Amino acid sequence: MLSLTAVQDGAPVPVPDPVRMVHLQLRRFAGCPICHLHLRSFVRRHAEIESAGILEVVVFHSAADELRPHVTDLPFPAVADPQRRLYHRFGAEPSARSLLDPRVYSSVVRAVTVGTVEFLRGRAKLPSLKPTGGRLGLPADLLFAPGGDIVARKNGVHADDQWSVDEVLELAR
């Protein structure tokens, strides 16, 4: 059992949850443009995810004060893990390949473009110039059954290598 706390309201976050599956996302740093773009797809389909019996939980390797302004509008818990305890536990280590892998280049351009437009419209905050834990994190996804077993996991090989909403829903079936 993991003892996590949502930065939005300080509420405890049960992982595993006694009745729902839990999709635990290990993202990169607070304000990461790639993570922000990815999470928007989960926000848009949140009702569908919930109706499938899945609790969405997203973790960043940022301090709570650094993370909070970036996650206030998320409809699911966001957790700060500045010491990367969960990342170490689940094998999501930092790597230069997170941004050097050619498969991430188009995602970086798209994410920075969308992030810049959202910032200029007042809908997004800029990330820190020196984010806690750096910029070289690799994402990971884990799906926990209500009893606590990990039924599926993915450790990304670059910064935009994570499950889509469709993949999470399919894995949860």
pLDDT value at position 100?
A: 66
Q: What is the pLDDT of residue 96?
A: 63
Given this model, what pLDDT does residue 63 score? Answer: 94
What residue ranges define each of the domains in the chain, with the CATH number in brackets? 2-172 (3.40.30.10)
Q: Walk along the chain (173 residues) and give the pLDDT tens digit of each residue.
A: 898 999 999 999 989 999 999 999 999 888 888 888 899 999 999 999 999 999 999 999 999 999 999 999 899 999 999 999 999 999 887 766 666 676 776 776 676 776 777 777 777 776 666 767 766 778 999 999 998 999 999 999 887 899 999 999 999 98
pTM: 0.85
pLDDT at 111: 65
Going edge to edge, which strands form the sheet with 150-155?
78-80, 54-60, 21-26, 140-144, 150-155
pLDDT score recorded for residue 142: 97
Q: Which residues are within 8 A (CB) of 161 and not within 5 positions of it... i.e. 6 or more apart?
A: 103, 104, 138, 139, 154
Q: Which residue, among 47, 79, 45, 75, has the nearest Cα to 61 in the 3D structure?
A: 79
Residue 92: name the closest of 132, 30, 61, 138 by CA: 138
